[in-house]
């Protein structure tokens, strides 16, 4: 199946809405999972898979593909939804999330799910893997790029900063890291648990090129990625300000939805709200 690249902001916004609906259905069907941080990252992941990255869904191991590492592996539903929409496996598989025998485990498994580049879930490790991939591309003289997505709470892990130092030292201008900066983690606000204060300034101090954007603005995400391609001699960090549970009124900015699945009536309400948002913007489902 040939890859379909979505060009317009409206097409990408509609794709992000579909991905959000998949997240709700998946976690609702499984009765477990992490909807909050999946919803906050939906716009970023949509732009990466539907507009930015180079890959072949019919050939997941194609050597020339760009790589994506979901370091915050508990947000697996957003990755699975994007991979299904991109054609790596049937959309119907999504409703098998976390079920016995499914290839869609609670955290990404590179051994069983087409398109998953790294098994993640132990927080703090994904950026190191992304650095290794970017170094490999440099050593082999290959043009493919590496993208990573980390959570703001995840940045409390020391290994993130070892990777940040390595990426800057190795001048990995083929590496782009998004911070899903929604301000909440499993135990409360990031400020209360262990404040990172200004994560962008921290990455800049390590030698990264840093941009800050609205992580729910498709145009801003696209623009930041275009600018990142022009950066030479340094990795890029895009601090994306997001809302946990984005798109579902009763989930937005509520820490309790970090790892709680919606019940049947909540699934219906969430899907209805997402449909109404699409209709209000002139979109479909």
Q: Tens digits of per-residue pLDDT, 212-264?
A: 999 999 999 999 999 999 999 999 999 999 999 999 999 999 988 888 999 99
Q: How far, in Å, CA of 32 to CA of 107, rounded?
A: 12
- b/e per residue 160-191 (b: at least 16 CB within 10 A): bbebbebbbeeebbbbbbbbbbbbbbeeeebe
pLDDT for 89-143, tens place per residue? Answer: 999 999 999 999 999 999 999 999 999 999 998 999 999 999 999 999 999 999 9
HSE, CB side, 13 Å, CA atoms: give it for residue 153: 21
The pTM for the full model equals: 0.94
pLDDT band for 283, please (50, 70, 90 cuts).
Answer: very low
- Which is more confidently placed, 221 or 3? 221
Looking at residue 191, what is its pLDDT?
82
Pairing of strands 188-189, 184-185: antiparallel
- Which is more confidently placed, 183 or 47? 47
Contact, 57 vs 1, CB < 8 A?
yes
All domains of the chain, ordered by start, with CATH?
A: 9-280 (3.40.50.970)
Asked whether the predicted pLDDT for residue 72 surpasses 90, the reply is yes
- Tell me how far the alpha carbon of residue 130 is from its chain's centroid: 13
Q: How far, in Å, CA of 36 to CA of 184, rounded?
A: 9
């Amino acid at each position: 199946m040939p890859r379909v690249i979505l060009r317009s902001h409206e097409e990408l916004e509609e794709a992000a809405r579909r991905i959000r609906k998949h997240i709700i259905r998946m976690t609702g069907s499984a009765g477990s999972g992490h909807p909050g941080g999946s919803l906050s990252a939906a716009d970023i992941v949509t732009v990466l898979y539907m507009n930015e990255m180079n890959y072949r869904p019919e050939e997941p191991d194609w050597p020339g593909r760009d790589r994506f590492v979901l370091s915050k592996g508990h947000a697996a539903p957003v990755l699975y939804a994007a991979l299904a929409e991109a054609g790596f496996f049937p959309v119907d598989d999504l409703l098998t999330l976390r079920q016995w025998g499914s290839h869609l485990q609670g955290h990404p498994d590179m051994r069983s799910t087409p398109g998953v580049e790294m098994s993640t879930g132990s927080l703090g490790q994904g950026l190191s893997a992304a650095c290794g991939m970017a170094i490999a591309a440099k050593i082999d003289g290959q043009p493919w790029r590496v993208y990573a997505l980390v959570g703001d709470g995840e940045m409390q892990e020391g290994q993130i900063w070892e990777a940040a130092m390595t990426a800057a030292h190795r001048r990995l201008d083929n590496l782009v890291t998004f911070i899903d900066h929604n301000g909440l983690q499993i135990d409360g606000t990031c400020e209360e648990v262990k404040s990172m204060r200004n994560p962008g300034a921290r990455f800049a101090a390590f030698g990264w090129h840093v941009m800050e954007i609205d992580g729910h603005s498709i145009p801003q995400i696209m623009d930041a990625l275009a600018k990142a391609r022009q950066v030479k001699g340094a990795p890029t960090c895009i601090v994306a300000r997001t809302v946990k549970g984005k798109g579902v009124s009763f989930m937005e900015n509520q820490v309790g939805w970090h790892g709680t699945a919606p019940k049947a009536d909540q699934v219906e309400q969430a899907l209805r709200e997402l449909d109404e948002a699409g209709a209000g913007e002139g979109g479909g489902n």
